[in-house]
Homo-oligomer: A and B are copies of this chain.
Amino acid sequence: MGKELNPQTNGFHHHLNGDGPPLPGGDLPDLLVLRPGLLYKVFEQEFLAKFNVLKAFESPLPLDKYLLRHAQAARAILCEAIVTRITADLLLQLPALELVVADGTGVNHIDLAACRRRGIAVTNTGDVFSEDTADYGVGLLIGVMRRLTRADAFVRRGAWPAAGEFPLGLKLRGKRVGIVGLGNIGTKLAKRLEAFGCKVSYNSRTKKQSARYDFHPTVVDLASHSDILIVCCSLTEKTRHLINDGVLSALGKSGILVNIGRGPIVDEKTLVSYLVEGKIAGAAMDVYENEPNVPSELFGLDNVVLSPHRGAFTEEAFGDALKIVMGNLDAFFSNSTLITPVSTNE
């Protein structure tokens, strides 16, 4: 997707690189895309229909040269959440930039302070991914506790008739689940887990008056009172490596860690050693410190579930996200109020 251009979009592309005469559509507003995220790839035609997409990723030029030549007037950038980083240095190369549109919820890849200093607005996709991410958290938890992904591999390799019994799993009901970060996702996750008979408690920056779950003032305290720890906070400088040796040690030998937040919230090297040495019982991860690279020590372990950052990724949520991205861009280019602005004051 997004690599093969049809003749119509080729026309835009030709024009947008400034190498040919203006074509119909030349009065569409510029939208800079450094690297196509999945949202862009899935909906490229929709973006091309409404914007002159400046496809930095298709240019043979080095990025700085590309930006100097083609993006000096770009007022808006669409950025995907996994690899592209919106740094202060990058912003220096985009003197006309006024809007950063993230294609997901997390904005840890964007230097918000630098945006604030420049008066650049930032939008995310609001809450559209939180239901699906909460669902996925439950899927990962059942996956690791009931060994579901390993069971599927066991059947597919034809091992069942010969090997006979596949190992027993662990029961969800009655387990103490500690939620790290009781925001949109954490709250939805807690509601689901209650239906399974899990006992939910949480840690968050502050105690939530509206939550009826037990609050623990530190993550170590939460971990020491939990059978399962589920990370669903956002990544900030305060949460980087929040899940460290002390937390994993408090979680203990029979504990299970699930991460649906961001990879760097967990000290991955320490987690790998805890798993390899059997110092916790298992883990299920959707996110990693250095995506798309996953520590290869994990590949052979039966007590882990490894997912390629798919927590939020359903067809339906992508449709909803597109509406919000387009809504923010429409609002910006028509001088209306952005629908899901992110505070840059943190």
Interface residues of A (CB under 8 A from B): 38, 41-42, 131-132, 135-136, 138-140, 142-143, 145-149, 151-158, 160-161, 164-166, 168-174, 191-192, 194-197, 291-294, 296, 299, 305-308, 310, 313-318
Other than the given A131-B172, A149-B152, 10 more pairs (CB < 8 A) read A132-B172, A135-B142, A138-B142, A139-B148, A140-B148, A148-B149, A148-B305, A148-B307, A151-B307, A161-B293
Q: Are A154 and B195 in contact (CB under 8 A)?
A: no
Known contacts A168-B313, A315-B169, A139 near B146 by CB under 8 Å: yes
Q: Pick the contact of A299 from B140, B146, B156, B169 — CB < 8 Å?
A: B156
Q: Are B142 and A149 in contact (CB under 8 A)?
A: no
Interface pairs (30), CB distance under 8 Å = A131-B197, A132-B146, A132-B171, A138-B138, A138-B142, A138-B196, A139-B139, A139-B142, A139-B146, A139-B148, A143-B149, A146-B310, A146-B314, A148-B305, A149-B152, A149-B153, A151-B306, A153-B153, A155-B306, A155-B308, A156-B299, A158-B299, A160-B291, A161-B292, A166-B308, A166-B313, A168-B315, A169-B314, A169-B315, A173-B316
Q: Are A168 and B318 in contact (CB under 8 A)?
A: yes
Task: Note all chain B residues with C-beta closer than 8 A to A136.
Answer: 142, 146, 148
Copies of this protein in the assembly total: 2
| A156 CA / B164 CA spacing, docked (Å) | 24
Q: Are A41 and B165 in contact (CB under 8 A)?
A: yes
Chain B, residue nearest A306 (CB): B155
Known contacts A194-B195, A197-B131, A148 near B146 by CB under 8 Å: no
Chain B, residue nearest A301 (CB): B156
Q: Pick the contact of A168 from B306, B307, B314 — CB < 8 Å?
A: B314
With most chain B CB atoms within 10 A of its CB, the pick from A155, A157, A315, A317 is A155
With most chain B CB atoms within 10 A of its CB, the pick from A139, A315, A318 is A139
With most chain B CB atoms within 10 A of its CB, the pick from A151, A153, A172, A197 is A151
